[in-house]
């Protein structure tokens, strides 16, 4: 049982803090960069949950069963993965050889569950015909943000492994993070489809036509305001 009576200790005032095994390192150490990025990703999951809870339950006087479906699934999967990210952050705060024996670690089971869920969501979305721009009406946009932070965490883990050696991170951690970023991408697509929204597809520069900008429109908008005030 974890019991925290106070958060501040003053032990990190000089720019160092402790790993799980009690050893001290600079807060700028690559391992703490990994742990911090894992914490950041967990916080973005909280934003996804917040946006999901903000979805309007009714539209045009009628209930939206699709919203309830999306909210239910998001509530279940986000809470589970947030717990897994907390497990992962605790693991990464120490070299594997020094982890406490009682600690239960992420394994193939968690990876397999992510894959099974992706397969289930993909049954209900159309095949991609282009890359997707990171956008959306609420939870979709924050899921894109979570996906990019997951990829950054994956890169940070790889840098740590290259810096400290093969035994510094368990191989399954890298597998899990690779699956997780794909999972977030597919989940974002499923949420977009489930809410009846359109995905914003990327159009290559050669197909977008000439770039004219909005400078003239800005000037016309302000000119209209001035004309209205003169009336």
> Quick one: DSSP state of residue 97?
G
> Quick one: DSSP state of residue 28?
T
How does residue 62 score in pLDDT terms, banded at 50, 70 and 90? very low
Architecture in CATH for domain 16-204: Up-down Bundle (1.20)
pLDDT of residue 89: 92
* Calpha distance 85→30 (Å, rounded): 18
* Calpha distance 179→187 (Å, rounded): 12
Helix (H) or strand (E) holding 134: none
Q: Which two tokens stand for residue 102?
A: 């009682």
Q: Give the three-class secondary structure for 221.
A: helix
Of residues 64 and 84, more confidently modeled: 84
Contact 169, 88 (CB under 8 A): no
CA angle 220, 221, 227 (to 5 degrees): 85
For the chain, give the number of residues.
231
- Does the global pTM surpass 0.85? no
pLDDT of residue 63: 45
pLDDT digits (tens, 9 = 90+) for 134-187: 888 889 999 999 999 999 999 999 999 999 998 899 999 999 999 999 999 999
**pLDDT higher than threshold 90 for residue 56:** no
């Amino acid at each position: 049982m974890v019991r925290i009576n106070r958060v501040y200790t003053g032990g990190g005032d000089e720019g160092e803090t402790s790993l799980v095994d009690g050893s001290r390192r600079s807060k700028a150490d690559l391992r703490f960069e990994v742990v911090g990025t894992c914490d950041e990703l967990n916080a973005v999951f909280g934003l996804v949950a917040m946006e999901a809870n903000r979805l309007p339950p009714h539209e045009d006087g009628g209930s939206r069963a699709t919203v309830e479906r999306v909210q239910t699934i998001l509530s279940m999967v986000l809470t589970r993965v947030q717990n897994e990210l907390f497990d992962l952050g605790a693991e990464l705060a120490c070299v594997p050889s020094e982890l406490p024996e009682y600690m239960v670690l992420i394994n193939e089971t968690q990876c397999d569950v992510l894959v099974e869920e992706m397969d289930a969501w993909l049954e209900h979305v159309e095949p991609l015909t282009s890359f997707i721009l990171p956008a959306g009406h609420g939870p979709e946009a924050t899921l894109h943000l979570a996906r990019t932070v997951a990829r950054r965490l994956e890169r940070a883990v790889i840098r740590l492994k290259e810096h400290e050696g093969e035994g510094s991170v368990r191989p399954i951690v890298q597998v899990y993070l690779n699956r997780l970023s794909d999972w977030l991408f597919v989940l974002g697509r499923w949420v977009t489809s489930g809410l009846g929204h359109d995905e914003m597809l990327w159009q290559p520069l050669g197909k977008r036509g000439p770039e004219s900008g909005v400078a003239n429109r800005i000037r016309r908008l302000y000119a209209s305001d001035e004309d209205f005030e003169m009336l």
